[in-house]
Structure 1
Amino acid sequence: MSEQHTVDTAGAGRPVPAASSADPARPDVLPEDARRELDRLRARWAQLPLDRAEPAAPRVRALVVDLASRTAGTAVPDLGPGPLVDQLAVVAWDACAAGRGDGITQALTELRRALP
């Protein structure tokens, strides 16, 4: 068995703008300012090396869990730091679609500002 070392980063590749899973014929339910914050979060997260993203991951995960609890209340699997911001985008959209997106822009802004 050979030992191979890989260099993994939290954000692999270029950040992709947050996209909703909604029908494209319908308007996005995420408020414009919340969408902008998600895009900024994605861009920043993609720039973070893994050793800087890992300490920040629990704070991002806490917001994911909070937003998920506003809708279906199901557990969101912990897939590590790589897809964490994508999970955030999904649960943010779901919370807004369910009419439970109160304070989402502020929470996203505070999270972005707290990132290393």
Structure 2
Amino acid sequence: MAPSGVGSPTPQEVSDELRRVVERWHQLPLDQALSRMPSVRVLVQSLADRVAQACGGAPQPVPDLGPAVVMDQLSVMVFDLFRAAPATDPAVVADELAGIRRSL
């Protein structure tokens, strides 16, 4: 059992939507995943930029590691955002994730 106060900083509604996106992504044929990569990468980069801003750093480009890794990148950026900026509106992030899921 984890000590009190330890765990994911990601709100449940965001975690739920992220799980749906990842599940849907893993169901896609490769050609469809490749065609959807640009929109997913835009969101990953946007999240990374928000993390950098919250940490007082300069935005850095997130490397394109392909469709097999992009969901891991998305998951890490969501986690990092809520760790770096806990006041982030979860509804906004959940809506962004839902938009990606609907586009898949």
* Residue 100 (structure 2) pairs with residue 111 (structure 1): yes
Question: Unpaired runs of 5+ in structure 1?
Answer: 1-23
Aligned pair partner of 2:34 in 46, 54, 71: 54
- Name the SS of the counterpart of 2:67 in structure 1: coil
Cα distance in 1, alignment partners of residues 88 and 79 from structure 2: 8
Query: Using the alignment, how far apart are the partners of 1:55 and 1:91 within structure 2?
Result: 21
1:63 partnered with 2:43: yes
Contact 1:30/1:96 (<8 A) preserved = yes
Conserved? CA contact 1:92–1:101, under 8 Å: no
- Cα deviation for residue 101 of structure 1 reads 3.4
How many pairs were matched up?
Answer: 92
Q: Which has the higher helix share?
A: 2
SS of the residue aligned with 2:62? coil
**What stretches of structure 1 move > 3 A for 4+ residues in a row?**
none
For 1:91, give the aligned amino acid.
M
Question: Could you tell me the TM-score, scaled by structure 1's length?
Answer: 0.74
User: What's 1:30 paired with?
Assistant: 10
1:95 aligns with 2:75: no
Structure 2 gap segments, 5+ residues each:
53-58
1:49-69 Cα offsets, whole Å, 9 max, x none, are: 111111111000000000000
Distance in 2, matches of 1:71 and 1:37, equals 19
Alpha-carbon displacement from aligned partner over 1:81-114 (angstroms, at most 9, x marks no partner)? 1110110000011111111633111101111111
Identity of aligned residues (%): 41
Q: How does 1:11-22 map to 2 (within 5 A)?
A: none
